[in-house]
Amino acid sequence: MENLYVIKIGGHIIDEDEKLSSFLKDFAQIPEKKILIHGGGKLATKLADQLGIQQKLIDGRRITDIETLKIVTMVYAGYVNKNIVARLQSQKCNTIGLSGADANIIQAHKRIHPTTDYGFVGDIDAVNAEPLTQFINSGLTPVIAPITCDDKGQLLNTNADTIAQEIAKAMSKHYAVQLIYSFEKSGVLLDASDDATVIPSINQLYYSTLKEEKKIFAGMIPKIDNAFAALNSGVREVIIGKAEELHNLINHSAGTKITHE
Amino acid sequence: MENLYVIKIGGHIIDEDEKLSSFLKDFAQIPEKKILIHGGGKLATKLADQLGIQQKLIDGRRITDIETLKIVTMVYAGYVNKNIVARLQSQKCNTIGLSGADANIIQAHKRIHPTTDYGFVGDIDAVNAEPLTQFINSGLTPVIAPITCDDKGQLLNTNADTIAQEIAKAMSKHYAVQLIYSFEKSGVLLDASDDATVIPSINQLYYSTLKEEKKIFAGMIPKIDNAFAALNSGVREVIIGKAEELHNLINHSAGTKITHE
């Protein structure tokens, strides 16, 4: 099977223009087929502040009310997505910006939770690999914003990490998928404050040990759990590492590789 | 050649939720192949006001400074585009939301004008019919926001009427294109204040007479000039009329038809 890179870029890169430019240059140079999934950075929060829309939090989790949904739709699917698309076009990388609603690539529903109403937050039912495969095979590189919709036409704010994972899983039927989570840290760290303590490789057994010994930073646990779930669903490889080191993540000279064995 | 409807909806429809819903229902029911081009409505102006960004006008024409560009990108390519896409998806019309940057469908440049700097306003160099044809032939209905980019990756605010016209022209090589400008009036009117005075059909000769007798509302002249230019470039038919009467515009029982002869 042909290689496909499914690459998620974290929010911090989007907030820093120079870092974003440099990342997009690296991304455009990947000769293989690829999909980019992006978050939103701090721009949505900034815009909400400017408009006097207060962020609602329940148990530390952000609630997407109708005004916040409007903002994230504008920022993620509009400003951020189209800027990335236009910049990659100028690098001769022929991109197509998509939300989950476009070409019906992601089917989602409003989150149902026994005690908390998260508002307009989407959980993914399915990814439709066919249109994505068609775009990729016709030479287009999809750039995906974390906005989906339900079957009633309601837009929903959706976690970009989860979108990356679900797309990687769905595309594994057609490609040898490498899922790359690129963010601000160099990988999974033994000491969260020291970027030099990257663990080069984690398998299930080692992961259990690390968790037992509480050596893993709590924020990393969902990312690694997702990585194993992806591997169990046919994704070839999951790599977590620094966005600034994209080429080294791809050639395995940087970051943390999550593996079965 | 197969029929293709290239339909532009005016801004006022986007501002009125019920009218928009009804229009989208009508649009989804068109059995033939189709492309929708939308403007932005008053939402962009409202958002600019809320953020304290003043509209700049030179000789009555709006200038797109960098802050305004950000707003129109968010509103047109984000909020409006994705809401239309999601609503049409719920009507079982499989849509794909695009700006001119996506799949490189429109190449544009920043407007060059001897005396006025319009800011980040795009003039169209070319429309790339190939990806649009591919999308349409694979069952997708493109929904296009009036944002383009230049070859340096700079996003540009671009007139939606012009986009509709240029797309109609480019697609005429592959389809029998009917270009429909749907807006708030019933068509080209003899008396601008009386919706019952629709002129059912205008050819070149009659247009000259109407202009000489000053019977045409000045605001309509660029629309009609563009219509004739489109006809001269292979577009089969141009119809101007009320968005609420979409099906009647298509079956020629409403609106103004612009024809060569």
| Alpha carbons B111 and B158: distance in angstroms, whole number | 10
Low-confidence ranges of chain A (pLDDT < 50): none
> Best mutation site among B96, B98, B110, B138 for testing chain A: the one with the most A CBs within 10 Å?
B96
Residue linked to tokens 């993914």: A124
pLDDT at residue B116 in the model: 85
Report chain A residues whose CB lies below 8 A from the CB of B155: 82-83, 86
Report chain A residues whose CB lies below 8 A from the CB of B85: 99, 101-102, 149
Check which CATH number belongs to the domain holding A19 and give it. Answer: 3.40.1160.10
The string of DSSP letters for chain B reads --EEEEEEE-HHHHH-HHHHHHHHHHHHH--SEEEEEE--TTHHHHHHHHTTPPPEEETTEEEB-HHHHHHHIIIIIIIIHHHHHHHHHHTT--EEEE-TTGGG-EEEEE---SS---BSBEEEEEE-HHHHHHHHHTT-EEEE-SEEE-TTS-EEE--HHHHHHHHHHHHTTTSEEEEEEEESSSSSBSSTT-TT-B-SEE-HHHHHHHHHTT-S-GGGHHHHHHHHHHHHTT--EEEEEEGGGHHHHHTTSSSEEE---
Give whole-number Cα distances, B228 to B159, B179, B225, in Å.
18, 11, 5
Which 3 state secondary structure label does DSSP give A202?
strand
Question: Count of domains in chain B?
Answer: 1
Report chain B residues whose CB lies below 8 A from the CB of A103: 94-96, 140
Residues 78-107 of A with CB under 8 A from B: 78-79, 81-83, 85-91, 94-99, 101-104
Residues B77, A73: C-beta atoms closer than 8 Å: no
Six-digit token string for A84: 């990335």
Locate the chain B residue with the closest alpha carbon to A152. B90
- Does the reported pTM lie above 0.90? yes
- When CB atoms are compared, the residue of A86, A98, A138 closest to B101 is A86
Residues A104, B94: C-beta atoms closer than 8 Å: yes
| A180 beta partners | A7, A239
| Alpha carbons B135 and B142: distance in angstroms, whole number | 7
pLDDT at residue A193 in the model: 85
- Chain B within 8 Å of A136 (Cβ-Cβ)? no
The answer to whether B129 and B24 have CB atoms below 8 angstroms apart is no
pLDDT at residue B71 in the model: 96
pLDDT at residue B245 in the model: 95
- Chain B within 8 Å of A149 (Cβ-Cβ)? yes
Give whole-number Cα distances, B21 to A97, B25, B181, B230, in Å.
25, 6, 18, 29
pLDDT at residue A187 in the model: 93
Mean per-residue pLDDT pooled into runs of 10, chain B (261 residues): 95 89 97 95 90 82 90 97 98 98 98 91 97 98 98 96 96 97 92 90 94 84 90 96 95 94 76
Return the H-helix or E-strand segment holding A168: helix A160-171
